[in-house]
């Protein structure tokens, strides 16, 4: 993982969490006590906040710091894979149950 990748993930997550809370950049920047241009640069993956600023961002979002560094695309891919596996297993179980039912009870 390089620094650019981390900045992009951090920025994307801050933007997503901010939007989920219905906060504009201006509202959130005021709440986190940072400038709007700096917040914009963070969200675009251009700048990385110092620890004290990151702490204010975390507090303003009401999340744990690790949540800002999770690559949600990988989580989404994992969830999608689990759903596909679950659907496939259900089909196989349903088919097997039907076969057993027909063989012994049908």
Classified as helix, coil or strand, 46 is: coil
Same-domain pairing of 6 and 55: yes
Same-domain pairing of 2 and 33: yes
Same-domain pairing of 43 and 27: yes
Same-domain pairing of 40 and 29: yes
- What CATH number corresponds to the domain at position 2? 1.10.260.40
Structure tokens at 68: 């800002």
Residue 48 confidence (pLDDT): 92
Residue 25 confidence (pLDDT): 95
Look up the domain containing 81 and give its range.
Answer: 71-106
Mean of the per-residue pLDDT values of the chain: 84
Q: Which residue has the tokens 């994307």?
A: 12
How many structural domains does the chain have?
2
User: Could you tell me which residue, 94 or 38, shows the higher pLDDT?
Assistant: 38
Same-domain pairing of 104 and 63: no
The DSSP H or E segment spanning 45 is: none
pLDDT at residue 30 tops 90: yes
Same-domain pairing of 19 and 53: yes
Judged by average pLDDT, the poorest of 39-43, 90-94, 102-106 is 90-94
Question: Could you read off the pLDDT of 39-88 as tens digits, one per residue?
Answer: 999 999 999 999 999 999 999 999 999 888 888 665 555 555 566 666 76
Three-state SS string across the chain, please?
Answer: CCHHHHHHHHHHHHHHHHHHCCCCHHHHHHHHCCCHHHHHHHHCCCCCCCHHHHHHHHHHHCCCHHHHHCCHHHHHHHHHHHHHHHHHHHHHHHHHHHHHHHHHHC
């Amino acid at each position: 993982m390089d620094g650019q990748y981390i900045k992009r993930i951090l920025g994307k997550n801050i933007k997503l969490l901010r939007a989920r809370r219905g906060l504009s950049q201006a509202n959130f920047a005021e709440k986190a006590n940072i400038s709007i241009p700096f917040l914009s640069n963070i969200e675009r993956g251009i700048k990385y906040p110092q620890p004290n600023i990151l702490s204010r961002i975390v507090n303003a979002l009401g999340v744990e710091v690790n949540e800002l560094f999770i690559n949600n695309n990988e989580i989404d891919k994992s969830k999608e894979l689990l759903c596909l596996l679950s659907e496939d297993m259900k089909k196989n179980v349903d088919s097997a149950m039907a076969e057993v039912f027909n063989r012994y009870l049908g």
